Structure 1
């Protein structure tokens, strides 16, 4: 090991970002919180709001078309579908499609702060496969020469040491001087611990049950044990099989429903607050996680625009720049690049899409053929069609 490090630039002292063997025992970056709940990526994702936020970002990123383009000498660009990078993005490995790979890797960044994939190259130096590595099994080591190494522990417990050039590493925001992304789950651990505690409290309350009504004895005598037993048996019958029937109560006994208490109202309000609090962590509008509390007919579209501009764009740029930096060489990236086609977000809005095309055609920015291409329609002779 020491000889190998000296040949690579030398490092007898190492700085480790994490220990994968310890992570395997402790469940990653999990820790206890002030609420008494243990929070890690697994427990956090069990919250429906966290799961919905992660899926909203991961699914949207993965489902957008991702194309490879070639810069022409005239300053224009053209699709390079035959390029090896385009084939790699469509089929990154033998068991995942391009959509499945990008969805799982984006979710890994959101939950763990980092995603790692081992690059496999052919004899021509082209990347032919991307093999995902679980973030909890990867240790980032900073060597004395300033370079980085990735230690990955496989399923059998064997540690593989990979150079930085052998790994596609995408990450969330990192600290200055570090290339390891910070987990949003770890940063907001206390907020998520409170949400988990609220869920546990609600589950325990409903599991024990609580009476929905009480019987008030307004009479002037106490009931005997046999009478109380008869009343209890009658209540149990109507609770299980007597729905919709009339129950006769003894003289002097009054039925009184128990409404929602102030404590219950505070619990419901706290649950609603936790939804908005989690959405802030991922910068996802609550309407996208099925919280329509503050949604109106007029602001839903604006919230969708906000999601694309201020939440989704960060992850699209992360993928585009990561692909350029890690998968293309210095010379190739001057000619080729990958870019998402965000117009795919308008597919479910035919009215807005048609108005956009009409405006672009009237302004001379696009022609009908280009619009048909964006709609995945076959090319046709536009002049002949207009003449007919």
Structure 2
């Protein structure tokens, strides 16, 4: 009986999951082990982070996005669907589709979540989409175990009073694209999860800035054979004359003083190697090929195209699927979900170079599974008419069935003729 009650309690708890990572606690921004404060803004000041976020955000924003309808044989684009102009052109009167998707993808990469408010008309159809800041969103469950999105809206962001109000939104009023997370409700920030790696890069950059601000001259000590009456005055005088822009001035040492550098030179401290490794480390966080952020050491003409294709397959494709499924879930009406779907077109990124495409088209054309119009559509060319053979599927004339080939066919024919004569 106790075992039965235990399982009943367990099943009951599974029916009512709780969000343990609500609010801004989900991001875990703060000071890294290297002593740097890492958050979404300071991280974007690291060039490798900025490059990775920009590459992924612009890639998603630049992909063609269309609404399709299922057909008996295949699919067709539906340009007259109400969602089509929103997703393809203008999600709201203030921004284009590119800017909207670029903004949301940036939020997804920095915060681990992307939110947009859905404005619907009287028929429940989507009218506008507006981005929402992820750090102002709190996801919880109400007493009926339904998700509630609470957004903090500042009424006077540029004033001194900082007045605000909390707006509660239903799930059908929010387009939510979560990244990788613990509970399936919200994602956690890649920046927060990798703050120590990013902090090392920030610390190395700060060290380099300080070093060159002092004219690339390491600190040291002045040795005096006697007793210095006012060492602080001597230190300030030396610093004023031989630091910063004056670091290369010629020093004249009096009274037998000598100068000895104390700091370890950057080459000995592997300063450059550390900065270079951190580029690869940050690229690894976002799964971006190093050559796309300017590191060409391991890239060549023979493998850079393959790396670009792998970027589409293994980096962009998971993000594309997250976007497509989130939009299908939130934007299509319940009665439309079995008949329509939303899809990015990544074919253009997978086409390869011109020669490879032409060779592939030739093989498809000669083997009968591509027509002239199929090829022209993939190359973004206008179709040719039916009379000109645009939709004909051809096969190579020297290919035939085994039973119809050469001596084998003659022998089979002779056997059949002999049998008929009998």
With the shorter chain as reference, the TM-score category is: 0.7 to 0.9
Partners of 1:76 and 1:293 lie apart in 2 by 44
| Cα distance between partner residues in 1 of 2:95 and 2:352 | 26
Deviation at 1:19, TM superposition (A): 4.2
Q: 2:76 aligns with which of 75, 78, 91?
A: 78
Matching of residue 207 in structure 1 with residue 219 in structure 2: no
2:309 to 305, 321, 327: 305
Correspondence for 2:186 among 180, 183, 199: 180
Matches within 5 A, 1:283-302: 283-302=287-306
Unaligned runs of 5+ in 2: 1-17, 156-163, 219-240, 250-263, 391-422
SS at match of 1:379: coil
- SS of residue paired to 1:55: helix
Partner of 2:177: 170
Distance (Å, rounded) in 1 between the aligned partners of 2:82 and 2:122: 13
Whole-Å separation in 1 of the counterparts to 2:211 and 2:83? 55
| 2:91 aligned with 1:92 | yes
* Post-superposition offset of 1:320: 0.9
Residues 315/169 of structure 1: CA separation in 2 closer, same or farther (3 Å cut): same
Q: How has the CA–CA distance of structure 1 residues 101 and 348 changed in structure 2, closer, same or farther, with 3 Å as cutoff?
A: farther
Q: Return 292-301 or 28-37, whichever deviates more.
A: 28-37
TM-score after normalising by structure 1: 0.77
2:195 to 162, 183, 189: 189
| 1:114-168 deviation digits (Å, cap 9, x = unpaired) | 0100001112211011111011111112224322111112231221110111100
Measure, in 1, the Cα distance between the counterparts of 2:297 and 2:290: 8
Corresponding residue number in structure 1 for 2:122 = 123
Contact kept, 8 Å, 1:44 with 1:50, in 2: the verdict is yes
Paired residue secondary structure (1:50): helix
Counterpart CA distance in 2 for 1:208 and 1:59 is 38
Contact conserved, 1:16 with 1:140, CA < 8 A, in 2? Answer: no
Larger relative contact order (CA 8 Å, sep ≥ 6): 1
Give the 4+ runs in structure 1 shifted more than 6 A.
none
Q: Secondary structure at the match of 1:115?
A: strand
Contact 1:118 1:167 in 2 (8 A): yes
Paired with 2:19 and 2:179, the residues of 1 have a C-alpha distance of 20
Q: Deviations over 1:197-250 (max 9, x none)?
A: 1110111000011359xxxxxxxxxxxxxxxxxxx9xxx99x89xxxxxxxxxx
Q: Could you tell me how far apart the structure 2 residues matched to 1:54 and 1:363 are?
A: 42
- Paired residue for 1:248? none
Bigger shift: residues 316-325 or 343-352: 343-352
Segments of 5+ residues of structure 1 without an aligned counterpart are: 1-13, 213-231, 241-259
Q: Secondary structure at the match of 1:120?
A: strand
Q: How many correspondences in the alignment?
A: 325
- Give a deviation string over 1:13-61, Cα, whole Å, max 9, x none: x9674446x99xxxx7520111110000111111111111111111111
Alignment pair present for 1:361 and 2:342: no
After superposition, residues 104-123 of structure 1 pair within 5 angstroms as 104-123=103-122
CA distance in 2, matches of 1:292, 1:15: 43
1:227-278 superposed Cα distances (whole Å, 9 cap, x missing partner) = xxxxx9xxx99x89xxxxxxxxxxxxxxxxxxx9564560000011100110
CA 78–195 in structure 1, closer or farther in 2 if over 3 Å, else same: same
Instruction: Please name the residue that 2:355 is paired with.
Output: 351
Contact 2:19 2:185 in 1 (8 A): no
Mean CA deviation greater in 84-93 or 198-207: 84-93
SS of 1:334's equivalent in the other structure is: coil
**Cα distance in 1 for residues equivalent to 2:62 and 2:19:** 37
Contact 2:117 2:132 in 1 (8 A): yes
Specify the alignment match of 1:61 in structure 2: 60
Written as runs of structure 1 = structure 2, the 5 A alignment for 1:1-388 is 17-19=21-23, 29-72=28-71, 74-90=72-88, 91-156=90-155, 157-176=164-183, 178-211=184-217, 261=265, 263-264=267-268, 266-346=270-350, 349-381=353-385, 383-384=387-388
Q: Is the 8 A contact 2:309 2:350 kept in 1?
A: no
Deviation of 1:379 after TM superposition, in Å, equals 2.7
